[in-house]
A = this chain, B = another copy of it.
Amino acid sequence: MNQDEFRYWGHRLVDWIADYGDQVERYPVAAQVQPGDIRSQLPETAPVRGEPFQAVLRDVEAILLPGITHWQSPNFYAYFPGNNSPPSILGDLLSAGLGVQGMMWATSPACTELESLVLDWLVDMLGLPSTFLSSSQGGGVIQDSASSATLCALLAARERTTGGESNREGNPGRLTAYASNQAHSSVEKGVRIAGLGSHNLRMIDVDTNFAMRPDRLRQAILEDRDRGRRPCFVCATVGTTSSTAIDPVREIADICHEFKIWLHVDAAMAGTAALCPEFRYLHAHLERADSYCFNPHKWMFTNFDCDCMFLADRRPLIQALSILPEYLRNDASSRGTVIDYRDWQIPLGRRFRALKLWFVIRSYGIEGLQARIRLHVQLAQEFADWVRQDPRFELAAPVPLCLVCFRHRGGDAANQQLLDRLNASGRMFLSHTRLDDQLTLRMSIAQSQTQRRHVQQAWQQIQKLADTLTPADD
């Protein structure tokens, strides 16, 4: 494919994506296929000669598309969103087109400088503490995911707690970590990867709102200290995956300071809401956290992957991850006047991911982003009201933002039936969790294209299906 063909097919593909965005609502939201259905339609060996791009694009439409679950559908309410947006797609396109490596300042200076700038912008936009600015001892970095941010925070904590011993000699054992029993699975994954062992992660009890109980955290830490353990890492969650529960950061920070434990705050989904002053309470007391992250690739219209991680002191992370082989030595790094983001992350290489975030912020502006966040929260509050008003249903958790956890009063079987039938209809896609040991439906109203009419139709469909069930308590 030469540049002229690239122009031709690039224009076609842009149009295809625009059409897809316009029409995505017409497809079944969750793919209605069985394992192997897609693969069985494709040849089992690679072509010897190059094929025309037309054939490739035809297979995308005819074979792949039925196997796609449409995360960009306005009727996608499952999990948390993975939103893209027109400016974000363009930013990612330019990143692919420039094809530069941002592993060090020297390998493409603009890549590092734009990333630091945009992350500094976010400190201001989200009401984050000034210790997170790149001009301080801390700073921000784009990670691929909150999972990786959590792991990096844990590695920095391990490094700081052991004074470098864990890096040199390996885990000394006896290190313990803490998160609520509602925290994301990536905390346990990180604890395993970093060699602490999942038995040394304490899953702290939560209160009736599914938020961590600081008294139980304190108790667990004291017990571990009594048994000769070394508490090193606490992950507080601002907006859990199950139910958007918000851990009490102030009380948790008090405990972390008392016992000199690294405090990481995971606001992967909820953080974006702090763009609006009325939700900035989510970021209260972060000046007492050691690290923090949120995901623009969830709710800030920036396609995956884009997690923004901030540190109050970047040195423990860099000490944990920096290795400088001869083939990467350069003047700028040696003088110490630049940031080399390779030392802030697990991989060495890195894309120019700041472009898409910069495109999104500039295209929407702060006000444009706020308007979309407010619409989603408003729609979720309306949906929650509808649930409250229907005696067949109940809310299963508070609704601080855009996730509504609710269930039919007919018990697990009724809710499972409801979930399966809603998703099989192709008209919407919900996911589930368990709260108070009961199957609970999760209605996450935060997709870029979701409007009031979609949410209204979803509720009507849920109500209609509920009519066909025989609730246990009616």
Cβ-closest chain B residue relative to A69: B108
A359 at the interface (CB under 8 A from B): yes
A290 at the interface (CB under 8 A from B): no
Q: Which of A39-97 contact B (CB under 8 A)?
A: 39, 42, 44-51, 53, 55-56, 60, 63-72, 79, 82-90, 92-94, 96-97
Tell me the smallest distance from the CB of A267 to a CB of chain B, in Å: 16
A465 at the interface (CB under 8 A from B): no
Bound complex: CA A105 to CA B34 (Å): 10
Mark each residue of chain A from 9 to 41: 1 if its CB lies under 8 Å from any CB of chain B, else 0: 111011111101110000000010101111100
A225 at the interface (CB under 8 A from B): no
- Identical copies of this chain, number: 2
The 5 A-B pairs at the shortest CB distance, nearest first, are namely A195-B195, A67-B110, A170-B197, A10-B14, A17-B97
User: What 13 new A-B contacts, CB under 8 Å, besides A35-B105, A35-B109?
Assistant: A1-B85, A7-B18, A10-B11, A16-B97, A44-B120, A48-B367, A66-B110, A67-B113, A71-B108, A188-B323, A195-B195, A242-B327, A304-B350
Is B82's CB under 8 angstroms from A99's CB? yes
Is A170's CB under 8 angstroms from B166's CB? no
Residues of B close to A107: CB separation below 8 A? 69, 71, 79
Cβ-closest chain B residue relative to A322: B189
**21 CB < 8 A contacts A-B:** A9-B86, A11-B14, A14-B14, A16-B94, A46-B121, A46-B122, A51-B362, A67-B111, A68-B98, A82-B101, A82-B349, A89-B93, A92-B92, A151-B346, A171-B171, A173-B173, A189-B323, A194-B194, A304-B351, A305-B349, A327-B442
Residues of B close to A13: CB separation below 8 A? 90, 93-94, 97
Mark each residue of chain A from 233 to 251: 1 if its CB lies under 8 Å from any CB of chain B, else 0: 0000000011000000000
Bound complex: CA A49 to CA B111 (Å): 24
Q: Which of A312-353 contact B (CB under 8 A)?
A: 320-321, 323-329, 332, 337-338, 346-351
A192 at the interface (CB under 8 A from B): yes
Is A35's CB under 8 angstroms from B332's CB? yes
Tell me the smallest distance from the CB of A86 to a CB of chain B, in Å: 4
Bound complex: CA A404 to CA B9 (Å): 37
Bound complex: CA A287 to CA B114 (Å): 45
Is B17's CB under 8 angstroms from A94's CB? yes
A401 at the interface (CB under 8 A from B): no
Q: Which of A155-193 contact B (CB under 8 A)?
A: 155, 158, 166-171, 173, 175, 184-186, 188-189, 192-193
Residues of B close to A168: CB separation below 8 A? 197-199
A144 at the interface (CB under 8 A from B): yes
Q: Give the residue of B21, B53, B189 whose beta carbon is less than 8 angstroms from that of A363.
A: B53
Instruction: Choose, from A256-264, A378-386, A430-438, the stretch at the interface.
Output: A430-438
Q: State whether A96 and B82 are in contact (beta carbons under 8 Å apart), knowing that A14-B10, A347-B148, A442-B327 are contacts in the complex.
A: no
Residues of B close to A97: CB separation below 8 A? 13, 16-17, 20-21, 84, 89
Cβ-closest chain B residue relative to A241: B327
Is A101's CB under 8 angstroms from B48's CB? no
Residues of B close to A3: CB separation below 8 A? 18, 21-22, 86
Is B5's CB under 8 angstroms from A86's CB? yes
Q: Give the residue of B79, B151, B196 whose beta carbon is less than 8 angstroms from that of A170.
A: B196
Is B320's CB under 8 angstroms from A192's CB? yes
Is B327's CB under 8 angstroms from A197's CB? no
Residues of B close to A49: CB separation below 8 A? 365-368
Is B45's CB under 8 angstroms from A124's CB? yes
Tell me the smallest distance from the CB of A102 to a CB of chain B, in Å: 10
Is B186's CB under 8 angstroms from A348's CB? yes
Is A31's CB under 8 angstroms from B108's CB? yes
Residues of B close to A450: CB separation below 8 A? none
A272 at the interface (CB under 8 A from B): no
- Counting chain B CB atoms within 10 Å of each CB, the highest count among A1, A22, A200 belongs to A1
Cβ-closest chain B residue relative to A192: B167
Is A64's CB under 8 angstroms from B124's CB? no
Is A50's CB under 8 angstroms from B349's CB? no
Q: Give the residue of B2, B66, B338 whose beta carbon is less than 8 angstroms from that of A86.
A: B2
A6 at the interface (CB under 8 A from B): yes
Tell me the smallest distance from the CB of A230 to a CB of chain B, in Å: 12
- Counting chain B CB atoms within 10 Å of each CB, the highest count among A144, A198, A327 belongs to A327
Q: State whether A10 and B90 are in contact (beta carbons under 8 Å apart), knowing that A170-B173, A242-B327 are contacts in the complex.
A: yes
